[in-house]
A and B are shown apart, each in its own frame.
Chain A
């Protein structure tokens, strides 16, 4: 069964303290891995898509990487405004819908 697992569930960082979030997946024929950011009371907002092992994408303090079995979202020198829930998702086998992980809730304090 296709599955996405994210860890940790919650992460508290001090401003400037870099860390990584993990997303592991089991899916046949990966059609891309998606990272979203979700703020309280809002819907998920697209961040990155990765398609092949070794691929990397960057946006401001965020960098996403992909291996054959997992993806990492690296946060470098985070700021309080980076606080949010980060979601990882992959398309289902039919390619018609996304399978989400439970997310990692990141809190960055100043």
Chain B
């Protein structure tokens, strides 16, 4: 079974530019989550999709972040315009059941550096 795939693995962009991160969940997993780890901080929840619907986006830091999951398959997270404080590692996770955290499978993350 293929795992959760994220790309790019690394991205370096200048402040003010736009970046789009992509996550391909495990096939059949309706639940898709985005998390972020900023340097020196803990991993924090950003949002949760059930199929193509946003179930909970309470963790999104501001309106420069836009997440989509068209067709309920892969998801993208766009940052526009990027700021220095957006640097960090962005993780995606997927699961079959919404509350089965044991079934969470994380991707390897995208390391975003804004300079």
On A, residues with C-beta under 8 Å from B are: 4, 31-32, 34, 41-46, 49, 87, 89, 91-92, 94-103
Contact = CB atoms under 8 A, between A and B. Distances in A.
A16 to B, nearest CB: 30
Contacts of B43: 44, 87, 89, 98, 100
B4 interface: yes
Interface of B: 4, 9, 33, 35, 40-45, 48, 55-56, 59, 91, 93, 98-99, 101-102, 104, 106-109
20 contacts: A34-B102, A41-B109, A43-B4, A43-B91, A43-B106, A43-B107, A43-B108, A44-B91, A49-B101, A49-B102, A89-B43, A95-B99, A96-B48, A97-B33, A97-B45, A97-B56, A98-B35, A98-B45, A98-B101, A102-B40
Per DSSP, chain A at the interface is loop
Contacts of A94: 56
A49 to B, nearest CB: 5
